[in-house]
Structure 1
């Protein structure tokens, strides 16, 4: 169902960026959601910049210790770990 979910996530992100702004926490949430979708599909190169952007928004707007910031950071760390592991085994 990833193929069905992707355009919905992309559309939600576009709406949030337009209506709430690029630096809104809900925009960061949409970025994180889309990044998770890509990570789950093994599309790491597409996921990484979304995590980076989401984390930057969360850190600047919500702060380092906010639960949403911690969630995005953990998801991004998981991606980096997976990318490192895959790189070492190939």
Structure 2
């Protein structure tokens, strides 16, 4: 379901993709739990889709949930957690919360520098 959702999103069928992401998320929550890596990936994907549709508040809620789950599962300095921090920072930027965005982007940059080094592509992307 998740892969088809991505395909629909890439083809521009955002409503169809959203419906499938929501179906996948519900099933994953029921079978795998809220903090399983696959569930967290689907939460992040749905957040990204909602952002693309202009539903920034809905996207933010899911982005925060994904970040909370990543911190719980993997700690503050795991690359997946740092990616979630970056995602939330970029979302806050899109919402006009530049102070909140800056704080998160600085946290992500610091974390990537500490864990992956200054020249790693993830660090340079921030």
* TM-score for the superposition, normalised by structure 2: 0.64
Larger radius of gyration: 2
8 Å CA contact 1:25, 1:62 repeated in 2: no
Distance 1:45 1:75 in 2: 14
Is it true that 1:58 corresponds to 2:74 in the alignment?
A: no
Distance 1:67 1:15 in 2: 26
Cα RMSD (Å): 1.2
Structure 1 residues 24-68: Cα deviation after superposition (integer angstroms, max 9, x where no partner): 122111111000000111110111110111100000111112221
* TM-score for the superposition, normalised by structure 1: 0.87
Distance 2:82 2:52 in 1: 19
Is it true that 1:71 corresponds to 2:78 in the alignment?
A: no
- Give the Å deviation of 1:70: 1.6
Structure 1 residue ranges, 4+ long, deviating more than 4 angstroms after superposition: none
Greater relative contact order (Cα 8 A, min sep 6): structure 1 or 2? 1
5+ unaligned residues in a row in structure 1: which ranges? 86-90
